[in-house]
Amino acid sequence: MKTRAAVAFEAKKPLEIVELDLDGPKAGEVLVEIKATGICHTDAYTLDGFDSEGIFPSILGHEGAGIVREAGSGVTSVKPGDHVIPLYTPECRQCKSCLSGKTNLCTAIRATQGKGLMPDGTTRFSHKGKPIFHYMGCSTFSNFTVLPEIAVAKIREDAPFDKSCYIGCGVTTGVGAVVNTARVTPGANVVVFGLGGIGLNVIQGAKMVGADKIIGVDVNDSKEEWGRRFGMTHFVNPKKIDGDIVQHLVALTDGGADYTFDCTGNTTVMRQALEACHRGWGTSVIIGVAEAGKEISTRPFQLVTGRVWKGTAFGGARGRTDVPKIVDWYMNGKIQIDPMITHVLKLEEINKGFDLMHEGKSIRSVVVF
Ligand code: NAD
Ligand code: AHE
Ligand code: ZN
């Protein structure tokens, strides 16, 4: 069949809207009509050439929602007509990682996914006879895409696609980092670095679990209003304080935060986030994705004295199990999504979504098909 898609032909070049050929689903796969997709900073990071796994030409996008249109042989968990959210972190429920109960990082198809291929080692997309690679196993910047059955979460049908797509990455990552990874406790002091599409979801997750101080840190002053809207109690612009940001935050939290979160991808900020934690128990969670080749460092003494450094992918969520629950949280009013969707774009306008993100003018842009 044919599909319309925004293709990343080369790094650092705008996406091009073209018609592609798409092969149907093979055994264990489904064809999904994408109804809406968010643009996450990770898409920009890959397009900008910072991803060591970046492959071109490819169809980016990993924050979508849509409808199953066809199921390949042997598919049992979803059927045509089901509403689904694609999962860049699948959940096979059979691999060593899934069975461990210790991680959401299913390994069933990770090797091929990282090479831009389906589990059988081939790509379903092509343009003028040449293969176009998949991205993060999702490729939601295409009106139709093919996904393994283990990489879709079935969701309720009354959830609007233009909002539920955000649960495919940003919402689940931010809220999940609080609930699953850090397990923030009521009354805790929390510092969130980077108040974008992810950081604001960390803030609303921290508010939801009853955190006390929720301090937002951002170099963009316009993010203060956004943070306060979702439960932030204090705002710090590191460019506008006298002295060191770490000392400033330690003073503000009476010795250091119980939990900090990096939502910037900047390795200097990651170090600040760790060092702003309380001696003896503070935990810092890295969410931001750093550019290829970057490394983190700190004095080992920071860890010897009890601070804990962790990371999280997809907020520690087990996609097929947890995503439908997060959709319920949204539909029941436990978490907000609507105000964070600042821009709704047509596929032809997708490059504007990247510009708005780089200019710090959007929280989430969503493309509707
Ligand atoms: P975004 O562009 O919407 O937000 C980033 C925010 O960080 C902006 O408000 C920006 O002003 C702020 N910022 C930048 N440099 C800063 C600095 N030095 N100090 C303080 N604030 C700073 O991006 P996003 O979509 O929220 O994504 C944030 C990060 O999370 C990206 O690195 C993205 O790749 C990553 N991410 C990771 C996961 C995961 O599973 N681990 C999932 C989604 C996104
Ligand atoms: N490909 C990069 C790493 C990118 C990365 O860490 N991705 C996160 C999700 S970001 C979503 O917006 C992730 O899920 N990581 C776990 C995994 O298995 O990819 C690189 O450095 O090579
Ligand atoms: Zn993302």
Q: 3, 112, 124, 169: which one is catalytic?
A: 169
Confidence band, pLDDT 50/70/90 cuts, at residue 173: very high
Counting residues of the chain whose pLDDT is more than 90, the rounded percentage is 100
Determine the distance separating the centroid of ligand 3 and the alpha carbon of 39, expressed in angstroms: 8
Distance (Å, rounded) from C-alpha 203 to C-alpha 292?
27
What's the N-to-C CA distance of the chain in angstroms? 17
User: Which ranges of the chain would DSSP assign to H, the alpha helix?
Assistant: 41-47, 96-100, 110-113, 161-164, 170-176, 199-208, 223-229, 245-252, 267-275, 301-304, 319-331, 350-358
Q: What ipTM was predicted for this assembly? A: 0.99
pLDDT tens for residues 57-84? Answer: 999 999 999 999 999 999 999 999 999 9
Nearest CA to 174 out of 93, 63, 281, 269 is that of 63
**Ligand (nearest to CA of 220):** 1
Distance (Å, rounded) from C-alpha 305 to C-alpha 144?
51
Determine the distance separating the centroid of ligand 2 and the alpha carbon of 16, expressed in angstroms: 24
pLDDT tens for residues 275-291? Answer: 999 999 999 999 999 99
* Ligand 2 neighbourhood includes 169 CB (under 6 angstroms): yes
* Ligand 2 neighbourhood includes 108 CB (under 6 angstroms): no
Counting residues of the chain whose pLDDT is more than 70, the rounded percentage is 100
Instruction: Count the alpha carbons within 13 Å of 309 in the hemisphere toward its beta carbon.
Output: 18
Task: Please give the sequence-ordered ranges of beta strands (E in DSSP) within the chain, or none if there are none.
Answer: 2-7, 16-22, 29-38, 64-71, 83-86, 125-127, 130-132, 144-148, 152-155, 190-193, 214-217, 234-236, 259-262, 283-286, 308-311, 341-346, 364-368
pLDDT of residue 217: 98
* Ligand 2 neighbourhood includes 51 CB (under 6 angstroms): yes
Confidence band, pLDDT 50/70/90 cuts, at residue 117: very high
pLDDT tens for residues 182-224? Answer: 999 999 999 999 999 999 999 999 999 999 999 999 999 999 9
Q: Is 138 a catalytic residue?
A: no
Encoded amino acid at 320, one letter: R
Q: Tell the residue nearest (CA) to atom 10 of ligand 2.
A: 42
Determine the distance separating the centroid of ligand 3 and the alpha carbon of 251, expressed in angstroms: 33
- Domain segments of the chain: what residues? 2-168+337-368, 174-312
Distance (Å, rounded) from C-alpha 46 to C-alpha 250?
34
The pTM of the full predicted model, rounded to 2 decimals, is: 0.98
Nearest CA to 273 out of 293, 252, 294, 259 is that of 259
- Take residue 329 and report the two structure tokens written for it: 């949280």
Q: Which CATH class is domain 174-312?
A: alpha beta
Decide if domain 2-168+337-368 falls under CATH 3.90.180.10.
Answer: yes
Q: What average pLDDT is seen over the chain? A: 98
Pocket test for ligand 1, best of 203, 229, 262, 264 (most atoms within 8 A of CB): 264
Distance (Å, rounded) from C-alpha 353 to C-alpha 366?
8
Q: 29, 46, 89, 106: which one is catalytic?
A: 106
Q: 3, 37, 63, 307: which one is catalytic?
A: 63
Pairing of strands 234-236, 214-217: parallel
